[in-house]
Chains A and B, each alone.
Chain A
């Protein structure tokens, strides 16, 4: 079965850090361009960032609200994607989804992991 499973969410104080993981199975992870998408409570979907496959350079891009604070990385030997989140703010509170690029958009989504930034 093809699936993405996120973990690592939780409650963190403003200014704190958190690292999310996404484990992939059933797909050729090393060839996949991976992204993180978030959804604040009761709100819409927002792209967070992307990492290309290593074969395509492995470069990363980030949405403006998280640039300089969030870092995406991957380990193809473990079929795992990470999102390192630093200097967290209350407006980073959201469900964070791991997704894959298929035909130019997220064709596969994980179940999401909730991040709550609050004192």
Chain B
């Protein structure tokens, strides 16, 4: 099974400052069709997860442009350019190349 490892697992952030979460996979996520199926999700307390980013860097409809995804192969990053209060919660990366596997989650909270 592909293992997804996120870091850090806890991220205290200052409002208005940037934040970054890393996600590494135990094997390459490049699929035979040339796509890399790496996604990012945000889950607020008591709510369902919401997808933010798919195929490394594509933002879902309605997702603010302060969120961006990057990376390739086995190393990926989610960046928030300026953290807002509504960004608190847990962020998960997920690979969809070899069945589905989620990372452990990164809890983002305001300092």
State the A residues within 8 Å of B (CB): 35, 37, 44-47, 61, 63, 97, 101-107, 109-112
State the B residues within 8 Å of A (CB): 31, 35, 37, 39, 41, 48-51, 54-55, 58, 60, 92, 94, 96-97, 99-105
- In the complex, how many angstroms separate the beta carbon of B24 from the nearest chain A beta carbon? 16
Q: Is the CB of A111 within 8 A of B48?
A: yes
CA distance A47 to B95 in the complex (A): 11
Q: A44-B102, A47-B101 are in contact. Are A105 and B49 (CB under 8 A)?
A: no
Q: Is the CB of B48 within 8 A of A109?
A: yes
Q: Is the CB of B99 within 8 A of A47?
A: yes
Q: Is the CB of A109 within 8 A of B100?
A: no
How many CB-defined contacts (below 8 Å) exist between A and B? Answer: 58
- Contacting residue for A104 out of B37, B60, B101, B102, CB 8 A: B37
CA distance A70 to B100 in the complex (A): 17
- Contacting residue for B54 out of A45, A97, A107, A109, CB 8 A: A107
- Contacting residue for B102 out of A35, A45, A110, A111, CB 8 A: A45
Q: A112 contacts which chain B residues (CB < 8 A)?
A: 48
Q: Is the CB of A61 within 8 A of B54?
A: no
Among residues of B, the one whose C-beta sits closest to the C-beta of A95 is: B48
